[in-house]
Amino acid sequence: MTDFITVADVDALLGPGWAGSGDEALAVTMANAWLTAKITRPVPDPVPSEIKLAGAQIAKEAAAGRIFAAEDREVVSTSVTAGPVTTAKTFAKGSKATTTGESFALALLAPWTRRTGTMMLKRI
């Protein structure tokens, strides 16, 4: 796992008290693990501010228990009928809603998560 952010980085970006009653060190560790899993391209040194901001958002979500949370939504089907109108929802096993902070972090990480359009191949 790569250390993209530290507790001091998150404190500087979000201010003190960002973790609420959560464990700051554990939240930052979870954020670094999340970033390591998402980033697929090399990251320059020093770490760009977009990655640090994304990590801070994920650390805040992790401190609130919304990242790496238990997934208990199995295949569920609900149906509501009101007169002639019927509405149904089905969730696939393991699906979970994406939080605002996670969506924002993914948008910030886009340059490091997408593959480049050109690949060079060399025949040996």
- Extract the runs of DSSP E, i.e. beta strands, from 37-124: 76-82, 85-91
Phi-psi map region of 77: left, alpha, beta (phi>0 left; psi -120 to 50 alpha):
beta
Paired sense of beta strands 76-82 and 85-91, if any: antiparallel
Q: What is the pLDDT of residue 52?
A: 93
Residue 61 in domain: yes
- Cα distance between residue 83 and residue 122, in whole Å: 64
- Cα distance between residue 39 and residue 78, in whole Å: 36
Tell me what the mean pLDDT of segment 23-31 comes to: 92
Residue 75 has pLDDT above 60, yes or no: no
Residue 81 in domain: no
The H-or-E segment that residue 49 falls in is helix 49-63
Q: What is the pLDDT of residue 6?
A: 94
Residue 44 in domain: yes
Residue 85 in domain: no
Residue 8 has pLDDT above 90, yes or no: yes
Residue 101 in domain: yes
Residue 73 has pLDDT above 60, yes or no: no
Q: What is the pLDDT of residue 103?
A: 73
Domains identified in the chain, total number: 1
Residue 91 in domain: no
pLDDT-based confidence at residue 97 (cuts at 50, 70, 90): low
Residue 83 in domain: no
Tell me what the mean pLDDT of segment 67-91 comes to: 67
Q: Which domain holds residue 39?
A: 7-70+97-113
Tell me what the mean pLDDT of segment 17-37 comes to: 91
> Does the reported pTM lie above 0.75?
no
The H-or-E segment that residue 30 falls in is helix 24-38
Tell me what the mean pLDDT of segment 65-71 comes to: 71
